[in-house]
């Protein structure tokens, strides 16, 4: 399956013959009243949502399907509204850097004692000159966590790329529950 966003309100999906077999449906079986068609479309829309980071829920969808050669299928999904909504992220990676171990411990204590319910997971890494915390924060809590952390260190990033770069170039000291473990040192 390949899906391409062709406008801010339309996505084009090309399904090969193998894709159609995986979905256990043939073009000739597509019918808006068919239970199998509805299941197929629900699965397809879920995959489109995941692969393209768009949220199709709560929208009135217009779906057009066109038979292609060799059992392939071309589908267009459009919405009536202005544009697709971005899928809301449930969590984000916050990466903070500290010049000293003491600063990292103080920041961890402040987080653990006052805001431990605002994040899911944490890691602690070091390099020759500094320390970094990677915190998997609930998206809506990001600002509150940043307000606390900025007293002790500086923000390096808030995305998976910054977290991956840190993991690649820094040495892992604590790979799980780092905030809790560091707070015990205070």
pLDDT tens for 75-134 read 998 887 665 555 556 678 899 999 999 999 999 999 998 888 888 899 999 998 899 999
Helix-strand-coil split of the chain, %, nearest 5: 40, 35, 25
Q: Can you tell me the distance from the alpha carbon of 177 to that of 124, in angstroms, rounded to the nearest whole number?
A: 9
Q: Compute and round to an integer the Cα radius of gyration of the chain.
A: 23
Q: Can you tell me the distance from the alpha carbon of 48 to that of 126, in angstroms, rounded to the nearest whole number?
A: 38
- Considering the entire predicted model, what is its pTM? 0.54
Q: Can you tell me the distance from the alpha carbon of 24 to that of 31, in angstroms, rounded to the nearest whole number?
A: 14
For the chain, domain boundaries? 2-86, 91-183
Q: What is the pLDDT of residues 25-75, one digit of tens each?
A: 889 888 878 888 888 888 888 887 777 777 776 678 888 999 998 889 999
Q: Which fold has domain 91-183?
A: Alpha-Beta Plaits (3.30.70)
* Range in 4-13, 46-55, 159-168 with the lowest mean pLDDT: 46-55
Q: Can you tell me the distance from the alpha carbon of 43 to that of 183, in angstroms, rounded to the nearest whole number?
A: 44
């Amino acid at each position: 399956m390949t899906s391409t966003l062709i406008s801010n309100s339309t996505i084009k999906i090309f399904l090969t013959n193998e894709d159609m077999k995986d979905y256990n449906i043939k073009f000739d079986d597509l019918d808006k009243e068919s239970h199998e068609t509805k299941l197929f479309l629900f699965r397809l829309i879920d995959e489109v949502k995941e692969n393209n980071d768009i949220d199709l829920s709560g929208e009135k969808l217009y779906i057009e399907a066109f038979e292609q050669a060799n059992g392939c299928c071309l589908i267009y999904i459009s919405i009536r509204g202005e544009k697709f909504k971005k899928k809301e992220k449930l969590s984000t990676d916050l990466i903070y850097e500290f010049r000293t171990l003491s600063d990292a411990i103080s920041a961890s204590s402040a987080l653990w004692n006052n805001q431990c319910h605002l994040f899911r997971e944490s890691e602690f890494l070091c390099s020759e000159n500094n320390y970094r915390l990677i915190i998997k924060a609930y998206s809506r809590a990001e600002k509150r966590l940043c307000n606390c952390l900025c007293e002790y260190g500086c923000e390096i990033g808030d995305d998976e790329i910054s977290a991956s770069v840190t993991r690649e170039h820094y040495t892992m000291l604590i790979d799980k529950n780092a905030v809790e473990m560091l707070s015990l040192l205070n």
